[in-house]
Amino acid sequence: MARPRIDLHTHSTASDGTDTPSQLVAVAAAAGLDVVAITDHDTTAGWAPAAAALPPGMQLVRGAEFSCVSPTGRGDRDVAVHLLGYQFDPVHPAIVAEQKRLRLERVDRLRRMIGKMAADGYPVDIDAVFRLLPEGASAGRPHLARALVAAGVVGSVTEAFAELLHNGSPYYVPKADTPVRTAIDMVRAAGGVTVFAHPLARKRGRVVEPSVIAELAAAGLAGVEVDHPDHAPEDRELLRALAADTGLVATGSSDYHGANKTTPIAAETTSPDAFEELLAPVTGVETLTG
Ligand code: AMP
Ligand code: FE
Ligand code: FE
Ligand code: ZN
């Protein structure tokens, strides 16, 4: 068999992607992937429909991207970071409670962003957006971006972020995210493993110092996303060396969001050896094969 192709970070309509979970696994198969992880923000609602639609031979890794907050390592204010959790028990009470809290927090926070925009005259019918969210799905800024596109305020989701929704915008409202060490502990307690998602995605705003990633490795973090569309070549090399030094597994992923981003699925991949090493400690749930 040819070397398997593995993409460990994708989004569906259970959060801010535009493919349904069943479309997502079909798109993964059509792109030639052998393994795909579904990693919606703060929810496992896409797991069952993705599993039910799994094409023959496709291996499904069940995961989520946890909204977290971390010290930067510079003594300035904490920064929002994303943590990928894989193959954890989805009914673990702490995870169920924290994901539910964050989904409610996300709605509240988008309403506050919309309130600020409405005060400046932006016409956004966010209730229409919320009505379209599937049960258990996470709302996010990309939903607001699409509402802005629909209202003719901007031409694209990318433009909506660049002009109105980026982290430094006057309309930006932060969420109350989970301390990253708490999230690592929670996922491990539920039998899963964690990977620091796109830690050096500098175009999104401030990022952590490499020393923070090394400290998290000592605190139970299993891997770090090295090859990611938002990582510059020199940052990938820095992270690859850091992974080798600290025993973290180096992963690569597309962070596919369907039509909400331009990156195609399978644009970045994880090596089979790294994949095997990453999932070796899992005791939560098994991967599924169609
Ligand atoms: P939120 O989870 O509501 O804070 O929104 C963050 C999400 O917005 C990320 O997970 C990405 O999916 C998306 N995002 C962030 N920056 C951009 C950008 N420049 N263009 C398009 N989507 C973005
Ligand atoms: Fe996203
Ligand atoms: Fe992310
Ligand atoms: Zn993501």
**Chain segment 48-80, per-residue pLDDT in tens:** 999 999 999 999 999 999 999 999 999 999 999
pLDDT score, position 128: 82
Domains observed in the chain: 6-100+175-289 (3.20.20.140), 105-165 (1.10.150.650)
Ligand 2 centre to CA of 256 (Å) is 9
Ligand 1 centre to CA of 141 (Å) is 6
pLDDT score, position 69: 98
Pocket test for ligand 1, best of 13, 16, 83, 113 (most atoms within 8 A of CB): 16
Using the predicted structure, report yes or no on whether residue 129 has a pLDDT greater than 90: no
Average pLDDT, the chain: 97
> What is the per-residue pLDDT across 273-290, written as a single tens digit (0 to 9) for each?
999 999 999 999 999 999
pLDDT tier for residue 242 given thresholds of 50, 70 and 90 = very high
Q: What is the pTM of this model?
A: 0.97
Q: Can you tell me the mean pLDDT for 110-120? A: 95
Q: Which atom of ligand 1 is nearest to the CA of 203?
A: 19
Ligand 4 centre to CA of 229 (Å) is 11
Q: Residues whose CB is under 5 A from ligand 3 (ion)?
A: 82, 197
- Number of the ligand closest to the Cα of 102: 1
pLDDT tier for residue 265 given thresholds of 50, 70 and 90 = very high
pLDDT tier for residue 1 given thresholds of 50, 70 and 90 = low
> What is the per-residue pLDDT across 142-167, written as a single tens digit (0 to 9) for each?
999 999 999 999 999 999 999 999 99
Ligand 2 centre to CA of 44 (Å) is 14
Q: How far is Cα 226 from Cα 102, in angstroms, rounded to an integer?
A: 26
pLDDT score, position 33: 98
Ligand 4 centre to CA of 119 (Å) is 30
- Number of the ligand closest to the Cα of 83: 3
Q: Which residues line ligand 1 (CB under 6 A)?
A: 16, 41, 140-142, 157-158, 161, 204, 257, 260-261
Q: Which atom of ligand 1 is nearest to the CA of 175?
A: 4
Ligand 1 centre to CA of 241 (Å) is 27
Q: Can you tell me the mean pLDDT for 164-191? A: 97
Percent of the chain at pLDDT exceeding 90: 96
Pocket test for ligand 1, best of 106, 130, 141, 149 (most atoms within 8 A of CB): 141
Ligand 4 centre to CA of 197 (Å) is 7
Q: Which atom of ligand 1 is nearest to the CA of 110?
A: 3
- Number of the ligand closest to the Cα of 254: 4
Q: Which atom of ligand 1 is nearest to the CA of 162?
A: 19
